[in-house]
Amino acid sequence: MTDLSERRAFADALARDAGALGLEFQRQLGTLAIESKGPQDFVTEADRAVERLIREAIGKKFPDDAVLGEEYGASDGTSGFVWVIDPIDGTANFIAGLPLWCVSIACFVEGRSVVGAIHAPVIGDTYTAAAGGGTTLNGAAVTARAVNDFRQGSIGVGFPGGEAGADSARRVLAFCQSVIDSGGVFVRPGSGALLLADVAAGRLIAGVEPHMNAWDCLAGLLMIEEAGGRIEPYDGGTILQHGARIIASGAPLFDTVRPLATEAFDG
């Protein structure tokens, strides 16, 4: 087994274990302490407990790897591999009792994401990818949609809560207007990681968000590339610290969606 297939299998199993723990918390929502980090920006004990489970498993299996997680930050390693994790992506959905949330785990080395696993426990979907090894949804290979017209599917959009959310939402609104003008439709799933995974799986024809953090996007971006889609190239030297702008789609649509998103986001 190569190093990547071992890490892929590990991430796959770990995302499912972590998702099962998250689901236990969601089933007891009434007793869960919810803290507000800002407007529309929440964190719960579930986010922290799930991240601790993931970090402990990585520490046992790959003790020389580094970890970057949303809730507990960065810990150093010596191998060059960095695990980048969002224990619960879609926390606003999670605390509302909605099904669209997931665990996202990526493994990053030499400026690239090389392994990704995303698990949505309520829905029961697990997506995985490895560099050079394709993308799967529930064990079956998937490909991004090969359409070149906005009228042939839905485009996923996102913007965060918190203080930065309002400005981001204004830019996304401008993008949505141009999607509508082109005969398209859009959805805001409320989980950036699932949005990207669903572009990889061909369920959405494109996905855009003015900014995502590394833990939101690194697994999903690899999935899109490995499913034959296109992503706006990211800076491997800065994405862990600063995140990236996200524009992604099936390959034929990319040269249409990218200028529209760029215009809306820069405006």
* Total of residues contacting ligand IPD (CB under 6 A): 13
Does position 209 bind ligand IPD by CB under 6 A?
yes
Interacting span for ligand IPD (CB under 6 A) from 4-12, 20-28, 82-90, 259-267: 82-90
E strands in 3-81: 34-38, 41-44, 66-69, 73-75
Residue 104 is inside which H or E element, if any? Answer: strand 102-109
Query: Could you tell me the strand order of the sheet in which 125-130 lies?
Result: 73-75, 66-69, 82-89, 102-109, 112-120, 125-130, 135-137, 140-141
Binding mask 34-73 for Ca ion (x = CB under 5 A): ------------------------------------x---
Q: Which two tokens stand for residue 61?
A: 């299996």
Q: Is 225 in the site for Ca ion (CB under 5 A)?
A: no
Q: Tell me: does residue 220 bind ligand IPD (CB under 6 A).
A: no
Contact between 113 and 219 under an 8 Å Cβ cutoff? The reply is yes
Q: Which residue in 121, 153, 192, 250 binds ligand IPD (CB under 6 A)? A: 192
Note whether 75 and 51 are within 8 A (CB).
no
Does 51 engage in binding with ligand IPD (CB under 6 A)? no
Contacts with ligand IPD in 140-159 (CB under 6 A)? 158-159
The CB-of-241 to ligand IPD minimum distance in angstroms stands at 16
Which of ligand IPD, Ca ion, none does residue 221 bind (CB under 5 to 8 Å by kind)?
A: none
Rounded CA-CA distance 222/19 in Å is: 20
Structure token pair of residue 45: 């004990």
Instruction: Report how far residue 161's alpha carbon sits from residue 169's, in angstroms, rounded to the nearest whole number.
Output: 9
Cα 187 to Cα 12, 131, 219, 256: the distances in Å are: 27, 28, 20, 18
Q: Which of 160, 184, 220, 250 binds ligand IPD (CB under 6 A)?
A: 160
Partner whose footprint covers residue 225, from ligand IPD, Ca ion, none (CB < 5 to 8 Å by kind): none
- Residue 86 binding Ca ion, by CB under 5 A: yes
Interface residues with Ca ion (CB under 5 A)? Answer: 70, 86, 88-89, 216
Instruction: List residues near ligand IPD by CB under 6 A.
Output: 86, 89-91, 158-160, 190-192, 209, 212, 216
